Structure 1
Amino acid sequence: MMTQEELIEKSDVLLVLAPRDPKKHEELANLALRSGKRCYVDKTFAPDHFAAKRMLDLAEQSGTPCWSSSALRFAEEYQAADKTNIKGVNAWGPNGFEDYAIHQLEPIFMMMQAPATEVMHLTNDEVYTGVLRFADGRTATLSGYAKGSPFMMNIARSTENSVLEIRSDYFRHFIEALVEFFKNGTIPAPHSETLSIISAWGALMEAEKTPGIWVKVPKD
Structure 2
Amino acid sequence: MITTSIDIPESVDSLPKWKDALSKYGVKIVASVDELLANCDVVMIMSLDGRRHLAEASLVLKAGKRLYIGRPIAANFSDAVSIIRLSEQTKTPCWTSSQHRFSPGFIGMKNHPEVGNVLGCEMYGGCPTVPHHAELYWHALHSIETIYSIMGAGCVSVSCTSTPIAESITGTWADGRVATYRGIKKGAIKYSGTVFGEKGVSVTGVYGHGVPVKGIVPTNDKYMGYEGIAIEIAKFFKGGPVPVSANETLEILSFMEAAHESKSKNGVNIQISDIMKKAQK
Q: TM-score, with normalisation over the residues of structure 2?
A: 0.69
Distance 1:211 1:170 in 2: 37
> Which structure is larger by alpha-carbon Rg, 1 or 2?
2
- Residue 26 of structure 1, CA deviation: 2.2
**Secondary structure, counterpart of 1:219 in structure 2:** helix
Cα contact 1:16–1:25 (8 A) shared by 2: yes
Report what 1:153 is aligned to. 193
Segments of 5+ residues of structure 2 without an aligned counterpart are: 1-29, 129-134, 210-223
Distance 1:79 1:28 in 2: 30
Distance 1:52 1:115 in 2: 20
* Residue in structure 1 matching 2:176, options 137, 141, 146: 137
**Secondary structure, counterpart of 1:208 in structure 2:** helix
- Residue 109 of structure 1, CA deviation: 1.2
* Residue in structure 1 matching 2:105, options 77, 82, 88: 77
Determine which structure has greater relative contact order: mean sequence separation of CA pairs < 8 Å that are 6+ residues apart, divided by chain length: 1
Cα contact 1:92–1:153 (8 A) shared by 2: yes
- Residue 124 of structure 1, CA deviation: 1.7
Report what 1:28 is aligned to. 56
Amino acid at match of 1:41: I
Report what 2:230 is aligned to. 175
Cα contact 2:107–2:150 (8 A) shared by 1: no
Aligned-residue sequence identity (percent) comes to 26
Task: Determine if the alignment matches structure 1 residue 63 to structure 2 residue 91.
Answer: yes
Which protein has the bigger strand share? Answer: 1
Distance 1:118 1:206 in 2: 12
- Residue 191 of structure 1, CA deviation: 2.0
Distance 1:85 1:130 in 2: 22
Give me the CA root mean square deviation.
Answer: 2.4
Deviations 1:6-65 (A, max 9, x none): 43233222122443x434422331121222111111222245555444322321332312
Deviations 1:118-176 (A, max 9, x none): 21121222221111122223221101223332211211123321111315223122223
Report what 2:45 is aligned to. 16
Segments of 5+ residues of structure 1 without an aligned counterpart are: none
Q: TM-score, with normalisation over the residues of structure 1?
A: 0.86
Cα contact 2:109–2:195 (8 A) shared by 1: no
